[in-house]
């Protein structure tokens, strides 16, 4: 577990006369140093800065192997400054070289203060702020007291996680569009890979023969002379190859029998960072881990390494674990920069029982009961009964390589994506699935994106504007031009065909400055085409601009084109009295004066509506009479409507009739009628000399709706025959 003991040293012999004094002074100094170290260690053990497991090993063996995490904020700040200077969003080779130089200087300064008798350097990880040291109590105490040391960790060991997926994630559709991971690679940190199997091209050695998908293999842990310790890594790599059949696989064996130690993982991750450009590494897959973490573990010894890889454009797909935790996942999946992966079923597999839980029913996109689930889990993918490279396993170990393989396919198609952009692409295009877990405080529901490679690599054509309306175009005027912008807000290249015009009036439209025909638009790119319209005669025109493309949802986009060839003329209306004029088509609606433009040759129907106290008496101007007014608009036109107040008298009934005076109303009344009068003054003398019986009721408002006062007859009212019943009348 811990490679080598301390290096031995030989002291020079001093003259014999001085030996007793030297020995005595040395013993006293050593005793004081030991006491100081013991006090320091006990204090840091109590505070939690010193892991108990490290202290136990020190007490047992007199020395311990530790991973030393150094503070590196200054190095990361300098890397950010250099990225800005180089105008890049990823850590380029130049950025990595500069960071490695600064880290080397920090490590050198730290180790310079240690005696070779107190420590031994077991491993240095060039690109990470971590040292692997074997130390005694004095050196350990000094490390814990050093403010430049962010933390001390034991060399933890991790287990691999054990428990018809491609159609579920849309891989066949992506493959049919030519996206297979060609040129990208995935580093599989696992138990090794048996690359002699046909699933990897029956390789005789990495990269041999041509077509061998395993392009590099190395035992990071001590070489056991076996391609794969137990088949786990072969299955994981086989899943990667299934998702990304033309991607390269880098097999890094980090396991010592059943365990992978932090130091070996750091060595492997350091190798990946150093060689990421050589092999165009898109992702690391780690189907391993341990522990239970209910929050992102930013202080984890592997957190910095995973973050450095992501800054350099390499994501780490890490399985969340199979302990059926609710609210927690394993390490290193818990580190903030990880793409942590849980597992779903890819189909109905009936009831399933696992070592720590069971699912009575199963279905596609159902989260497996064994998946460690937390609100900070990144994504889920198929992970139950996955057969790859001739081996069948279930677990989050099988879910993670689906994501790693998908990352290779996406990075192959769009190599400029940064690590953050690649991770965002995986999550933002996922299909949302939900799972409800029971806890002591009640049910908790989680919603997570399920890997959807088809959505992550699909073109999507956009157009602005969606329709082109030229409005009114004067006949024989200079042909106007409008610009159409075609864009791709999808996640893969959009290939446009030949743009064409069709429809009844297609001959009156033409394409100008076409930069779109036979063009390939990358994600977020756009092109433009001009549409010109010629107006040769009066009429309403329409056509279609058709755009063929490889957008699977819209293989032929149609953009409607329209125009009104001719002129607009103004129709002006005015009213006299209380009333309104409205029009069909709409445009005119007023009770005074107003106007509206109408297209040439339009037939406009005008309607006169009197106010409640008035009646319509006739048209003038462009219309006449009291009937309908339907002018044809061939030039500017003015129309007026006259409204008059209702007469002062009326006989109410089935058909109300109005009269200019009470005398006229009485002359027309039949026996039993009621004559209604406005609340006004009538200058007349009325003689009622007919053998009829009538009621004369005065005092009505202007619309004859309610009685508001009295009617004054400035004259006389004489009843010479019949019966007259007056109401609300005043006779003067």
| Model pLDDT for residues 579-638, shown as the tens digit of each residue | 999 999 999 999 999 999 998 889 999 999 999 999 999 999 999 999 889 999 999 999
Cα torsion through 218, 223, 226, 231, rounded to 10:
-70
Domains, the chain, in order of start with CATH, read: 16-155 (no CATH), 158-456 (3.40.50.200), 461-565 (2.60.40.10), 568-645 (2.60.40), 649-731 (no CATH)
What is the pairing mode between strands 149-154 and 64-70?
Answer: antiparallel
Q: Which two tokens stand for residue 58?
A: 């020190």
DSSP state of 30: H
Question: Do the beta carbons of residue 364 and residue 345 sit within 8 Å?
Answer: yes
pLDDT one-digit tens code per residue, 234-245: 999 999 999 999
Residue 470 and residue 637: Cα distance in Å, rounded? 25
pLDDT one-digit tens code per residue, 578-591: 999 999 999 999 99
pLDDT at 568: 85
Q: What residues contact residue 653 under an 8 Å CB cut-off, 6+ apart?
A: 673
Residue 64 and residue 55: Cα distance in Å, rounded? 8
The H or E element spanning position 483 is strand 481-488
Which has the closest alpha carbon to 474: 551, 548, 563, 535? 535
Which segments of the chain have a pLDDT < 70?
1-33, 160-164
Residue 460 and residue 437: Cα distance in Å, rounded? 37
Q: Express the helix, strand and coil content of the chain in percent, nearest 5 each.
A: 25, 35, 40
Question: Do the beta carbons of residue 476 and residue 535 sit within 8 Å?
Answer: yes
Which has the closest alpha carbon to 568: 585, 544, 590? 585
Question: Do the beta carbons of residue 561 and residue 545 sit within 8 Å?
Answer: yes
Which has the closest alpha carbon to 626: 637, 636, 615? 615
Place of tokens 């297209």: 599
pLDDT at 158: 84
Which has the closest alpha carbon to 526: 481, 455, 464, 469? 464
In the chain, how long is the greatest CA-to-CA distance? 168
Q: Which two tokens stand for residue 115?
A: 């005696």
257 by Cβ neighbours in 10 Å (0-12 / 13-18 / 19+) ranks as: exposed
- Coil/strand/helix, residue 140: helix
Residue 304 and residue 49: Cα distance in Å, rounded? 18
Q: Which two tokens stand for residue 338?
A: 């990880």
Q: Which two tokens stand for residue 648?
A: 């002062």
Residue 155 and residue 290: Cα distance in Å, rounded? 13
Residue 526 and residue 221: Cα distance in Å, rounded? 50
Question: Do the beta carbons of residue 561 and residue 531 sit within 8 Å?
Answer: yes
pLDDT at 160: 63
Other beta carbons within 10 angstroms of residue 506's beta carbon come to 16
Residue 280 and residue 415: Cα distance in Å, rounded? 9
Q: What residues contact residue 711 under an 8 Å CB cut-off, 6+ apart?
A: 677, 678, 679, 680, 681, 682, 698, 699, 700, 728, 729, 730
Which has the closest alpha carbon to 697: 723, 652, 728? 728
Beta-bridged to residue 79, according to DSSP, are: none
Other beta carbons within 10 angstroms of residue 591's beta carbon come to 15
Handedness of CA 660, 666, 669, 674 (dihedral sign): positive
pLDDT at 32: 65
| Count of H-run helices and E-run strands, the chain | 13, 49
- Coil/strand/helix, residue 427: helix
DSSP state of 535: -
Assign residue 401 a region (left: φ > 0; alpha: ψ between -120 and 50; beta: otherwise). alpha
Q: Which two tokens stand for residue 387?
A: 């057969």
Residue 649 and residue 665: Cα distance in Å, rounded? 7
- Coil/strand/helix, residue 170: coil
Residue 333 and residue 343: Cα distance in Å, rounded? 13
Residue 367 and residue 332: Cα distance in Å, rounded? 21
pTM for the predicted model, two decimal places: 0.68
684 by Cβ neighbours in 10 Å (0-12 / 13-18 / 19+) ranks as: middle
Residue 352 and residue 715: Cα distance in Å, rounded? 108
């Amino acid at each position: 577990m811990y490679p080598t003991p301390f290096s031995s040293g030989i002291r020079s012999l001093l003259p014999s006369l001085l030996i007793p004094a030297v020995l005595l002074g040395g013993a006293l100094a050593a005793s004081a140093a030991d006491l100081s170290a013991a006090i320091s260690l006990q204090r840091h053990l109590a505070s939690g800065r010193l892991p108990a497991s490290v202290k136990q090993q020190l007490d047992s063996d007199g020395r311990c192997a530790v991973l030393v995490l150094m503070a590196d904020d200054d190095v990361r700040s300098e890397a950010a400054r250099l990225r800005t200077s180089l105008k890049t969003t990823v850590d380029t080779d130049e950025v990595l070289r500069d960071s490695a130089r600064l880290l080397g200087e920090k490590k050198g300064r730290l180790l310079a203060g240690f005696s070779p008798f107190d420590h031994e350097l077991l491993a240095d990880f060039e690109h990470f702020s971590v040292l692997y040291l074997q130390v005694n109590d004095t050196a350990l105490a000094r490390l814990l007291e050093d403010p430049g040391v962010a933390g001390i960790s034991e060399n933890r060991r991790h287990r691999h996680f054990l428990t018809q997926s491609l159609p579920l994630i849309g891989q066949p559709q992506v493959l049919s569009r030519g996206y297979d991971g060609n040129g990208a690679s995935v580093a599989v940190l696992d138990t090794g890979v048996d690359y002699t199997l046909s699933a990897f091209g029956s390789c005789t050695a990495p990269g041999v023969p041509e077509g061998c998908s395993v392009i590099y293999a190395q035992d990071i842990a001590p070489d056991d002379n076996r391609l794969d310790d137990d088949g786990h890594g072969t299955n994981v790599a086989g899943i990667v190859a299934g998702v990304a059949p033309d991607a390269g696989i880098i097999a890094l064996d980090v396991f010592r029998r059943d365990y992978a130690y932090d130091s070996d993982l750091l060595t492997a991750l350091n190798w990946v960072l150093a060689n990421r450009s050589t092999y165009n590494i898109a992702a690391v897959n780690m189907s391993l881990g341990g522990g239970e973490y209910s929050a992102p573990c930013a202080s984890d010894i592997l957190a910095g390494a995973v973050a450095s890889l992501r800054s350099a454009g390499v994501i780490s797909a890490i399985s969340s674990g199979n302990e059926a935790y609710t609210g927690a996942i394993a390490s290193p999946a818990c580190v903030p920069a990880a793409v942590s992966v849980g597992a779903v079923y890819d189909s109905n597999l009936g009831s399933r029982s696992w070592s720590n839980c069971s699912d009575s029913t199963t279905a596609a996109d159902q989260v497996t009961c064994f998946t460690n689930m937390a609100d900070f889990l990144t994504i889920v993918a198929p992970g139950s009964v996955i057969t790859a490279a001739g081996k069948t396993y279930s677990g989050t170990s099988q879910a993670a390589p689906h994501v790693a393989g998908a990352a290779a396919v996406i990075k192959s198609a769009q190599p400029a994506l940064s690590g953050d952009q690649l991770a965002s692409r995986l999550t933002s295009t996922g299909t949302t699935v939900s799972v409800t877990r029971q806890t002591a405080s009640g049910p908790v529901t989680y919603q997570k994106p399920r890997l959807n490679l088809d959505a992550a690599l699909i073109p999507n054509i956009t157009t602005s504007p969606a329709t082109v309306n030229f409005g009114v175009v004067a006949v024989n005027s200079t042909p106007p031009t409008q610009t159409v912008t075609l864009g791709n807000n999808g996640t893969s290249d959009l290939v446009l065909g030949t743009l064409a015009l069709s429809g009844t009036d297609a001959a009156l439209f033409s394409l100008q400055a076409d930069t779109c025909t036979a063009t390939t638009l990358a994600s977020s790119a756009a092109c433009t085409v001009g549409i010109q319209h010629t107006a040769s005669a009066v009429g309403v025109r329409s056509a279609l601009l058709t755009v063929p493309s490889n957008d699977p949802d819209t293989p032929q986009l149609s953009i409607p084109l329209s125009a009104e060839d001719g002129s607009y003329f103004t129709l002006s209306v005015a009213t006299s009295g209380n009333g309104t004029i409205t029009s069909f088509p709409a445009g005119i609606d007023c009770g005074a004066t107003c106007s509206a433009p109408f297209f040439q040759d339009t037939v406009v129907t005008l309607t006169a509506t009197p106010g409640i106290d008035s009646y319509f008496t006739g048209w003038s101007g462009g219309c006449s009479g009291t009937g309908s007014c339907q002018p044809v608009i061939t030039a500017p036109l003015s129309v007026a409507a006259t409204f008059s107040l209702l007469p002062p008298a009326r006989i109410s009934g089935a058909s109300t009739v109005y009269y200019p005076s009470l005398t006229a109303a009485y002359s027309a009344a039949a026996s039993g009628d009621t004559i209604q009068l406005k609340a006004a003054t009538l200058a007349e003398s009325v003689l009622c000399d007919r053998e009829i019986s009538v009621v004369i009721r005065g005092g009505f408002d202007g619309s004859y709706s309610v009685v508001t006062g009295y009617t004054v007859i400035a004259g006389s009212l004489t009843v010479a025959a019949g019966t007259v019943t007056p109401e609300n009348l005043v006779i003067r």
